[in-house]
Structures are given as C-alpha cells and as structure tokens.
C-alpha cells in the first residue's frame, strides 16, 4: 500500500519544461514519486510537445493557475524569469506549496524570492541546483536518468522549514541524485570556479577562432581535444547570459584570478622560462589527476 | 607474394617509444607494413617494457647504431631532443634513410634539421604530425588503432624528395590515418589555435583552481563539463613545455587574441551588457555546432 510518503512530490508544477525540467518530470514519473505533473511555459508548442512525449500530464498557459494546483512548484526556466514568475504565482500558492528551482546560480533566486514573495512564504523556499545536464536544450533531450549519481546542491535560506527541505531532498534522492546542502554564497562561489568560468573560456575560445580570417581552415584541423574542450560552448546562450549576470561578482573574481594564471604562463613562454612552465604544467596535471582519482565513481556525464 | 611496396617502412627505428611512438609501431606491425622495429630511448627500463609488450623487436641505447640499420627513422621523443639526436645520427644515416617525426610543432623540427643535418640529407626529411593521442603517456598506453580516421599532417620542406614524401604518406595511410599536406608555417599557426592555446587554457584553469584556498571544496563539486574541459591538462608536462617554447611566436599571438575575446566578455559581464553577451554566446554556439556538424564522421578521440 502506498502512503503519502511514497509520493514526495504530490502534484508537481514544472515552470519551463525544457531539458532539465523535462528530465526531472520523467525521472519522478519513472520513480512513481508524484501524482500529477502540470507544465507551464512560454511556448505552447513546446508544452504540446512535452504532453505528446508523456513528460507532463497537462499544461497551463497561466502561471497562477499552474501554481494553484501544485504541492511543489519547480522553476526550471531561465534565471531572469524567476522574479516575474514568483510575482505571478505568489497569491495562488497553497500555504504548504513548496517553491524550488534548478538554477545554476542561487543568490539571484533568493533575492528574487525576497522581493516577490510574502515573507511567510519563505519557509516554503528550497533553492536547488542539480549538477547535471548537457549542452542540448529542449524537452526532446529530456532523459529520466539524467540525475543518477550526479550531485544536487540544496541551498536553504534561514527561513526554510526543515520539513520542506526534507521533502525536496527526498524528491532528488528518489531520482538517483546525491544531495548535499550548502549556503547560497558558497554555492555561487564554487560554481563560478568549476562551471561558470569554464563556460566563459569555452565561449571565448570558440569566438576567438571563429572570428579569425582562416577560421574554416582552423576548424578543419581541430581534433578531439578541441571538441571536448569546447563542448560546453554549445550550451544555451540565453541560459548562460542569465547565469553570467546573476553570478556577476563571483564570476568577475574568477575571471581575474584566471587572467593572472594565464598571464603567468604567457610571460613564461615569452621569456623562454622553461622551468616555470614545467612547474605550472606539472602542478596542474597533478591537481587534475588527483581530481579524477578522488572521484572515480562519479558520473562524469556533462553538467 | 609481397613486394617491397607492401612494406613501406622496411626497417623502422623509433626514437622515443612512448604512447605515440609505441602506437605507430603497433599499428605498422598490425598492418604488416615493416620488417623490423628498432627502439631507441633514454630509459632502458622503458625500452625493455616495450620489448616485453611486443611493440619493438629490439632496442639500442646508442642512437647512431639504431639509425644505421633503419630505412625510416621516426623521431617520437620530446621536441627539445630533436637537434641533439639528429647530430648523433647524422653520420650513421643511410643515403636513402627517411627522417620523419610526430612532433606537435613543425618549424622547430625543420630548423633543427637545417642546423644538424648535412644539406644533402634534407631530401630525406618528411616532418609529420598525427593529430591523435591522449592525455596518457608511456608505452603501456600504446594502441594500434590510435590513428584510424585521424588526420596526419605532413609538412614537407622545399628540399623534400617527392618519393620520400610518398613513402611517408603511405606509412600513415596503412595505419588508417587521413593524410594532408601543408606548409610548416600554416601547420604551426593552425595548431597554435586549435591545440596549443586550448592546452594553455586548461592548464591555467586547473592551476587557478588548485591554488585557491578552497580548492578541495571546489574540485569536490566540479562536474562532467569540468572533467571534459580539463582533460588535456592531464597531458605530459615535459612535452607541453617543449611545444610552448617551440611554437612560441604563434602561441603568443593566439594568447593575445584570446585575451581580447575574454576581456570583451568580462567587460560585458561587468557592465551588465546582456545583449552583447547573448550575441557572443550565440555566435560561439553556432560556430561550435557548425564545427561538429561539418565533421560528423570524424573520430573525436582525444588528440
């Protein structure tokens, strides 16, 4: 006999049924962890597609109406849509309705919630970030196994109710994720280093090569290292536009740190300083090899 | 009945029986394309290992002796060893003995050959670069299929004899590579863009993170994108030290171009210039997607 505890998500409303939102829907469905999934989004065609694919049970084109019937609202649309959406659903949300999200930056979500929600609703706020994904966008790329063995980071605010936090944790655990909690600022600083900075480097590299006169010739001779290195430059531009601006301060700090390291390498090359180059490369190789050795069981699918 | 044409490599001497040199030996052996493979290297233990693995038939610890018996000498040791090795073997080389290599920069090979060889020997010089490899070093990682469907670039000099060039082309074709020819300067400019610059970015990124106080915490939350992006930072430091210094001028040009692109992104983030960020990311995504679409059949194994 199923108890309420078996379906931690109850009725779920997913705002933004793209690759991540769609994957979460499929994964929860596969785990039999929710009763009903309501989709909301900007594009009726995309919602219709999600319905046809069996990702959602129904869709709404009115945000408040989607939220009104939900036990859990998951924001999976671009970060910049957070505040307007929260304003639209604020008065429709049930007293116990959880508000969670999958955004790659968390400070901006918390700030938007403070501005847009009633203070009493902050107890239902559980910001989250699954460290999983791929460079493909859209519900057609949704995958029920996307989160298996990947980390999901939850960043509760001081007001977050421990019971609501537990329910969101359970929701991610049933889809196979390993859940960790950290504070919002730590999350944004860590992700600026491990994800947001590398994306900027990949975009800058591809843009640099694409703008060279000989770019056709150059791309012709690029090999696997280049394909790997630039995979993340195929990510969704709108999403990354939002992430950059949302996590601006941390990202600028990391860009400046990176610039310092690259300048050191440039100067060593320019001045034929072989010992310094060898020292830098050896230290970096060691750090990277250690990183791979330390987390051998990790699913290194794209984030 | 086999003819001489069936074994284009004849007796092969491989100088530096590591991952690349060892893979070429295994591949030529698998294709039955050479009579005998002689190894030469700095480490007797490593040569002994190559012998045990069946990668080479015998080894020498004297470079001139290894070269004296060879129809083809393949330099597969770090770039900085090229000139001293050529000086050691110059007087031992047979009149028709081909001198080729697998180095990632070609101008430095040609310059070393001009300094170290007799002018008449330049007709036997066929510089080459297989765009294949992986971040693992050493003969234990040699793989006979490493070059299948990968490009090998040959950069003949004006003095190169067309017949010798043809023999080296055939040698790469029998191991499955697609051979293209280009001039030395074009090779070094293209590779600075597609390979040498990305390696510097990966080393600089890992070094940047490794030197942060919170590096343990940071690496803990890195995901697949980071693992992909930094794979090339696990490459051999000595090899990359040599490549940087050998292709210094082209690499400095590319580092400066990249810096310009990254500064543009940094300024756009700092000044909240969303439209510019969206434009850059969209252009980069388009270029990267086009690159993958245009070469769908390419083997994107690591370079």
Contact check, Cβ <8 Å, B228/A300: yes
Q: Lowest mean pLDDT: which of A50-54, A192-196, A228-232, B167-171?
A: A228-232
Contact check, Cβ <8 Å, A212/B193: yes
Looking at this predicted complex, what is its ipTM? 0.89
DSSP secondary structure, B110-164, as one string: HHHHHHHS-GGGGGGEE-EEES---S--SGGG--TTTTTT-EEEE---TT--HHH
Contact check, Cβ <8 Å, B223/A198: no
In the predicted model, what is the mean pLDDT of residues A210-224?
82
In the predicted model, what is the mean pLDDT of residues B75-91?
96
What are the start and end residues of each CATH 3.40.50.720 domain in chain A?
A: 8-182
**Ramachandran angles phi, psi of A151, nearest 5°:** -80, 145
The 10s digit of each residue's pLDDT in B148-205 is: 999 999 999 999 999 999 999 999 999 999 999 999 999 999 999 999 999 999 999 9
Contact check, Cβ <8 Å, B190/A265: no
Report chain B residues whose CB lies below 8 A from the CB of A205. Answer: 197-198, 201, 258, 261
Q: What was the pLDDT predicted at B3?
A: 45
The 10s digit of each residue's pLDDT in B131-148 is: 987 778 899 999 999 999
In the predicted model, what is the mean pLDDT of residues A144-171?
96
Question: Could you tell me which of A240, A266, A193, A171 has the C-alpha nearest to residue B254?
Answer: A266
Whether the pLDDT of residue A230 is over 90: the answer is: no
In the predicted model, what is the mean pLDDT of residues A169-187?
96
Of B1 and A281, the structure prediction assigns the larger pLDDT to A281
Residue A120 Cα, gap to closest chain B Cα (Å): 32
The 10s digit of each residue's pLDDT in A98-121 is: 999 999 999 999 999 999 999 999
List of residues 6+ apart from A296 with CB closer than 8 A: none
Question: Could you tell me which of B90, B163, B99, B93 has the C-alpha nearest to residue B126?
Answer: B99
What are the start and end residues of each CATH 1.10.3660.10 domain in chain A?
A: 187-294
Are residues A113 and A86 in contact, defined by beta-carbon separation less than 8 angstroms?
Answer: yes
Contact check, Cβ <8 Å, B285/A214: no
Q: What was the pLDDT predicted at A301?
A: 40
Neighbouring-strand partners of residue A101: A75
List of residues 6+ apart from B68 with CB closer than 8 A: B92, B93, B94
In the predicted model, what is the mean pLDDT of residues A60-88?
96
Q: Which CATH number fits domain B8-182: 1.10.150.240, 3.40.50.720, 3.30.379.10, 3.40.50.10800?
A: 3.40.50.720
Give burial (CB, 10 Å; 0-12/13-18/19+) of B158. exposed
CATH, domain range B187-294: 1.10.3660.10
Tally of CA atoms within 13 A in the half-sphere of B112 that contains its CB: 25
Percent of residues, chain A, with pLDDT higher than 70: 94
Between the two ends of chain A, the Cα-to-Cα distance in Å is 37
Whether the pLDDT of residue A296 is over 70: the answer is: no
The 10s digit of each residue's pLDDT in B32-80 is: 999 999 999 989 999 999 999 999 999 999 999 999 999 999 999 999 9
Closest residue in A to B180 (Cα) is A221
**What ranges in chain A are assigned the alpha helix state H?**
19-30, 44-52, 63-68, 82-89, 107-116, 162-174, 184-191, 197-210, 215-220, 224-230, 237-246, 248-270, 274-294
Helix-, strand-, coil-residue percentages of chain A, each rounded to 5: 55, 10, 30
pTM for the model stands at: 0.90
Q: What was the pLDDT predicted at B34?
A: 92
Confidence of residue A55 (pLDDT cuts 50, 70, 90): very high
Give the nearest partner residue to B229 out of A208, A212, A232, using CB atoms.
A232
Report chain B residues whose CB lies below 8 A from the CB of A218. Answer: 190, 193-194
Report chain B residues whose CB lies below 8 A from the CB of A196. Answer: none
Percent of residues, chain B, with pLDDT higher than 70: 94
Confidence of residue B296 (pLDDT cuts 50, 70, 90): low
Give the nearest partner residue to B229 out of A198, A264, A287, using CB atoms.
A198
The 10s digit of each residue's pLDDT in B240-291 is: 999 999 999 999 999 999 999 999 999 999 999 999 999 999 999 999 888 8
Exposure b/e, B237-255, CB count within 10 A at least 16 = b: bbbbbbbbbbbbebbeebb
Residue A293 Cα, gap to closest chain B Cα (Å): 11
Residue A179 Cα, gap to closest chain B Cα (Å): 11
**What is the C-alpha radius of gyration for chain A, rounded to an integer number of angstroms?**
21
């Amino acid at each position: 006999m199923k108890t309420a505890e078996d379906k931690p998500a109850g009725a779920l409303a997913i705002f933004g049924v793209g690759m991540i939102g769609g994957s979460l829907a499929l994964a929860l469905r596969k785990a039999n962890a929710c009763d009903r999934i309501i989709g909301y989004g900007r594009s009726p065609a995309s919602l219709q597609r999600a319905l046809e694919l069996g990702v959602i049970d129904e869709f709404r084109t009115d945000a408040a109406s989607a939220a009104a019937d939900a036990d859990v609202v998951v924001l999976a649309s671009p970060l910049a849509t957070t505040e307007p959406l929260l304003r639209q659903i604020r008065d429709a949300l049930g007293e116990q309705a959880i508000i969670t999200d999958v955004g790659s930056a968390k400070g901006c979500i918390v700030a938007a919630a403070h501005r847009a929600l009633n203070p009493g609703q902050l107890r239902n706020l559980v910001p989250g970030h699954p460290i999983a994904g791929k460079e493909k966008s859209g519900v057609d790329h949704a995958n029920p196994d996307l989160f298996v063995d990947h980390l999901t980071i939850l960043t509760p605010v001081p007001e977050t109710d421990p019971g609501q936090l537990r329910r969101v944790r359970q929701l991610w655990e049933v889809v196979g994720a390993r859940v960790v909690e950290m504070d919002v600022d730590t999350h944004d600083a860590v992700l600026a280093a491990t994800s947001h900075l590398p994306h900027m480097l990949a975009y800058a590299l591809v843009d640099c090569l694409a703008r060279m006169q000989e770019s056709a010739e150059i791309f012709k001779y690029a090999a696997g290292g280049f394909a790997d290195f630039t995979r993340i430059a195929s990510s969704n531009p709108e999403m990354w536009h939002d992430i950059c601006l949302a996590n601006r301060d941390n990202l600028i700090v990391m860009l400046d740190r990176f610039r310092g390291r690259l300048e050191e390498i440039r100067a060593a090359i320019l001045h034929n300083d072989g010992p310094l180059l060898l020292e830098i490369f050896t230290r970096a190789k060691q750090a990277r090899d250690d990183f791979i050795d330390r987390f051998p069981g990790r699913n290194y699918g794209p984030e």
